[in-house]
Structure 1
């Protein structure tokens, strides 16, 4: 079909490797870990804030990953080590609860979800670390959750399928991190496929893979350097605003169970009742769902230029109607527009910081990095990090070859 997923790395964050994580495990706990797992972060080409509205998304798992060394223990303790932060947390399996250690809550939330599903989780030891840029909108939190969920599923032989693991990881984020995320991030981390992006219907959970060919374009991520904390941002408020819109529409259209069911015509008819703010939030989601479906048609037609226009329209909606962009992201997108060979650009992730995602002709990648970096530096006095990466398979055990 058209273009496989590959990106460009200009400046790289510090990297933890599987061998480094395994070595830290042995040094810290005094024995070798029997299980090594990799859990990828993700990018999303288009379809932002649609997942929790039961809409469509188009993500890919990428080779910015977290690595886990995990072993069951005879001790009645869960002992967790963050390799990158050099921090630890310990708790008894029968006393799992939210703690003051925020990174540990993502892991403990997974344990709690397995326990709710009737899994007797014994004591275990875990070290994790990796190279997913934190706060860049690449879903490091989902990688944390999915990596441990997969590892415990393997070690305990519980046989929970991947979709149920995705739901467990999502619930962990809801209940232990306080972020009411949709299913996309966890799904992408578990269901990624090398050389592909995947369109997920967040209501039916049906999905289709779309292969990409790196000869046609590259995907370059530009990091605004603004780190967001979704739990402390207005992410949850946006979800509430969408739910309010659905509640109003349902009074007139009982078939509208989510914004996936709503139309722009319905929104326009009840614009006054919705109010300007709720109208804009809902209109963005309805239009974004339409853009994802249109973008997939453009992929099938090998039309990168049309796909890129959907990306620009997505960013405008996120900036003006959903109001989750920021000045740094807007500058990056506008700078990208000025570079020849750029098909499209938009902010990616929950918003309020993180990365932009850009489709760039291969021969223009170097010029793109230079020009966008210069424009950003002129405005903010610093050069943004840029990343190039490749789509990979979902969460898996790391074999002798390192994958």
Structure 2
């Protein structure tokens, strides 16, 4: 039986800008979700990772991982397409809660699989829209478009410079030469991550209302003086982060890895101090790595309050730095982080074994 594979993603830079009409610079990684899908007389969901099978006689929301699949079914039917109940078997090597967008990978793999199995012929943009609709309106997480877009459009050996205000994009070669990107999972996920994520969105919407603007792209630095201190910090992060994305694109095109590293550090400080979505664990990892030889830059990735840190390092240096970090991290937090080696990957596709 064919499987439908969608990758996780790492966003090099451009955090919390995708739902603010901003710029992002993600690439897909070689960690992924695969699904097998076939028509059935009821909904049957099996997850190898969760070691769980759920069988439902009728369509319903459960508040579990199955909602990402059900959300896709719901979104497809909202678009006017007809399906039947399905059996979905889920396989994954993508860590959950590491900030690598396992939810979008599951949504896009499911959407593409249903399109193929039922002959719906959904194009790439429609797959993205269905994934976003499922997560926003069914699951209830008011995500931006970056994760689903990357899961569909990604191309091996390239990052995507995406303008989320109009979905115009450009493939940027990952010119790192003698350097590499890796992830360090803090193995922490604070409970307030989802609620605070939605709260940040609300704060950004308040910024637009206070300034009477339709988009963050219409806001200038001079406008920030009209905001209260909290909203000023949120808006400042978005404006600064958009600048960092464009500078990072230039850095990649010109193989200016030291510039890219400094931008990663700047991004983390902004996420910590202005957007306030970091946590002690990821701050500790970034702070520790700043003093390690061969480490050029690091920052938290994903929604925040846990998850992973992206690291830019000279090839061969990450292993030694991680071993030192592992000891100090355990002494401080009583648990160990995980080093995740990553390579770039293509977007959603069918895998026939």
Q: Give the TM-score of the pair, scaled to structure 1.
A: 0.84
Gaps of 5+ in 1: 1-33, 251-255
Q: Answer whether contact 1:178 1:231 (CA < 8 A) is retained.
A: no
Q: Is the 8 A contact 1:166 1:190 kept in 2?
A: yes
The structure-2 alpha-carbon separation of the partners of 1:185 and 1:399, relative to structure 1 and needing over 3 Å to count, comes to: same
RMSD across aligned positions (CA):
1.5
Q: Give how far 1:291 is off.
A: 0.8
What is aligned with 1:265?
Answer: 222
User: What's the offset of the Cα at 1:229?
Assistant: 5.5
CA deviations 1:353-396 (Å, max 9, x no partner) are: 00000000003122221222233223223321110011110111
Match of 1:354 among 283, 291, 307: 307
For 2:228, the equivalent position in structure 1 comes to 275
Aligned to 1:243: 205
Residues 268-324 of structure 1: CA deviation (Å, up to 9, x unaligned): 3x1xxx211111111111111111011111122221111111111110110001100
Gaps in structure 2 of 5+ consecutive residues: none
Aligned CA distance change for structure 1 residues 224 and 44 (closer, same or farther; 3 Å)? same
* CA–CA separation in structure 2 for the residues paired with 1:246 and 1:369: 42
Q: Does 1:387 align with 2:344?
A: no
- Give deviations 1:132-183, integer Å, cap 9, x for gaps: 1110000010111111000001111111111111111111111222100000
Kindly state the Cα deviation for residue 332 of structure 1 after the two structures are TM-superposed.
0.3
Aligned-partner Cα distance in 1 for 2:176–2:54: 42
Contact 1:230–1:350 at 8 Å: present in 2 too? no
Measure the CA separation in 2 of the matches of 1:120 and 1:152.
10
Closer, same or farther in 2 for the Cα pair 1:363/1:52, shift >3 Å? same
- Runs of 4+ aligned residues of structure 1 deviating over 4 Å after TM superposition are 228-231
Q: Deviations over 1:36-57 (max 9, x none)?
A: 1111111111000000001011
Q: Distance in 2 between the 1:265 and 1:167 partners?
A: 34
Give TM-score, length-normalised by structure 2. Answer: 0.96
Q: Distance in 2 between matches of 1:390 and 1:126?
A: 27
For the pair 1:59 / 2:22, whether they are aligned, the reply is no
Select which of 30, 54, 70 maps to 1:89: 54
Number of residue-to-residue matches in the alignment: 353
Query: 1:226 is paired with a residue of what secondary structure?
Result: strand
8 Å contact from structure 2 (residues 193, 304) kept in 1: no
Q: Specify which of 170, 190, 210 is matched with residue 132 of structure 2.
A: 170
Bigger shift: residues 351-360 or 213-222: 213-222
The question of 1:130 aligning with 2:92 is answered yes
Q: Is the 8 A contact 1:311 1:345 kept in 2?
A: yes
Please identify which structure carries the higher strand content: 2
Which stretch has the larger CA shift, 259-268 or 335-344?
A: 259-268
1:184-232 per-position Cα deviation (integer Å, ceiling 9, x unaligned): 0111111111111111110110111111245421112111111246774
Give per-residue Cα distances to partners, 1:4-34, cap 9 Å, x unaligned: xxxxxxxxxxxxxxxxxxxxxxxxxxxxxx3
Q: Is the 8 A contact 2:179 2:313 kept in 1?
A: yes
